[in-house]
Chains A and B, each alone.
Chain A
Amino acid sequence: MAGVTTASEVTHGTVVFTDIVGFTEYTALRGDEEALVLLSTQERLVRETLPADARIVKELGDGLLLWFADACDALRTSFRLQERFDQESSESMLPLWVRVGIHSGRQTRRGDDLVGHDVNVAARVVDVASPGEVLLSKATLDQIGDRLDGFAFEELGPVVMKGIPDPVPLYRALAPA
C-alpha cells in the first residue's frame, strides 16, 4: 500500500504452540469464570517454566504461542510444562489437558507478534498432537541433533496438512525414562 511502511525483521528460532483440549466443553460445563481460572493457571505455569531467552508471543484463545531461541530448550521446556500440567490436573481436577506442537524455522516479527509460513506450520503441528503429548517437526529434530540425551523420537510419518503445500514429517517425543 503506497505511503505505508511496516517495520519487519526476520528471526530464526523455534515456535511452540500449546492448546488446551476440551476448553470449549469445559467452558460450557463450568462457566466463564472457571474457564478463566484454567487459562490463567496455564499461563502462570508457562511463565514460571520458561527459560530467560524464551517468551510468550501471544495468547490464542485457549492456547499460547511461545518462541525459543534454541530448539533443545523448546523441547525440554515443553516436557517440563506437560509434567506441571499433569500434576496440576491430578491435584486440582482442573483439566489442563494440553497438547504441544513444535516447529523450527524462520519467523517474521510484526511488532511483538510473529508471522510467516513456519509459524503456520507450527500451528498445524499442534493440531495433530494428543493431550499430554509433544510433537515436533523434522526441522526441529534436525536442530536438536544429538544434543539431548535420553529423549527418544517416534516417527509419525509425513503428515499432509491443510493449507501447507508439502507433507511435514512429524515425530512424537518421548521423555527420558
Chain B
Amino acid sequence: MGDEPIVIPVPGTAELHLLTRSGAVEVRAEERADVVIESGAPSEHRIESDATGRIKLPSAKGGSAKLVLRCPMGSDVVVGTISGDVDLHGQLGAVRVTTVSGSIRVERAEALDARSVAGHIEIDHCSGQCRLQTKSGRAVCNGAGSAQVSTISGQIKLGETAGTVRAQSASGAVEVDMRSAGDVKVRTMSGPVRVAVPRDVRPSTSLHSLSGRPRSECEEGNDCEIRVQSLSGRIEVLPS
C-alpha cells in the first residue's frame, strides 16, 4: 500500500468501524463530504464500504500501523484495539471504543461508550449518555448529558454533568461536579467521594459509610437525589 490518501465519498455522515492491534487510531471530524484515510490503510480489497457511508477497515501491517482518518462531522465511530491509543477530534456522533491497554481521548461526541483495561480515558464533552470503564486508568469527562463510569483503582472525575450520574470505584477517588439537578449515585470501597452541587439545587441526600465520615453542607430538598455508599472512603457533598 502506498502513502497516497484514500478518499471515499459518503452521503452526509459516515459510520467508521476501525480495527487495530497495536496501532494507534486518530480520527478528525470536520466539515467535509468524504472520508479520507491518510495513513495506515490496508490493501484496498480489505476496505469495506457501502452506499450508506458504512466503512470498515483494519489497519495495515497486521494491525500495527497507525490509522489516521478525516471524516464528516457527526460521523459515528467504532474502534477496537488491543494496545493502540485512540484519539478522536472534532464533533462526532455515537462513539464506541474498546481497548486493553491503550488510552482513549475524545473531544466531542453525541453518545459514548469507551472501555479500557489499563488506559486512561479523557472526554471533553459528550452531549448524551457517556459510559466509561477502565480498571487502573483515570476516567475524566469534562461535560456530559448523563454519565455512567466505573474504575477499580483509577480516579473518576466528572465535570459539568447535567443528567443522571452513576459512578463506581473500588479504591479510586470520585469527584462529581453537577451543572444542574440530576440524580447521582456513587459507590466506592475505599475511594473518597466528593460531589459538588450547584447552590440553587437542594438535593435529597443519602450518604452511607461504614467507617468514613459522610458530610453534607447542602440544604436538603427534593430537586434531585444524591446517594453515596462507601465502605471506608470519605464522603463530601458540598455546594459549588
Q: How many interface residues does B have (CB within 8 Å)?
A: 33
* B191 to chain A: closest residue by CB: A25
Query: In the complex the two chains form, is A157's CB within 8 Å of B170's CB?
Result: no
A131 touching B79 in the complex, CB below 8 Å, given contacts A26-B170, A29-B232? no
B91 at the interface (CB under 8 A from A): no
A93 touching B152 in the complex, CB below 8 Å, given contacts A29-B189, A160-B81, A160-B98? no
Query: In the complex the two chains form, is A160's CB within 8 Å of B20's CB?
Result: yes
Chain B positions within 8 Å of A, measured between CB atoms, are 17, 19-21, 63, 78-82, 96, 98, 100, 113, 115, 117, 131, 133, 148, 150, 152-153, 168, 170-171, 187, 189-190, 208, 210, 229, 231-232
Query: In the complex the two chains form, is B96's CB within 8 Å of A156's CB?
Result: yes
Query: In the complex the two chains form, is A21's CB within 8 Å of B152's CB?
Result: yes
A residues near B171, Cβ cutoff 8 Å: 22, 25
Distance of A91 Cα from B163 Cα, bound (Å): 26
Distance of A103 Cα from B20 Cα, bound (Å): 23
Chain A positions within 8 Å of B, measured between CB atoms, are 21-22, 25-26, 29-30, 89, 93, 95, 97, 127-128, 130-131, 154-162, 167, 170, 172
Q: Can you identify 28 A-B contacts, CB atoms within 8 angstroms? A: A22-B170, A22-B171, A25-B152, A25-B170, A29-B189, A29-B190, A29-B231, A93-B229, A93-B231, A95-B189, A97-B187, A127-B117, A130-B133, A130-B150, A155-B96, A156-B98, A157-B78, A157-B80, A157-B98, A158-B80, A160-B20, A160-B63, A160-B80, A160-B82, A160-B100, A161-B82, A162-B100, A170-B98
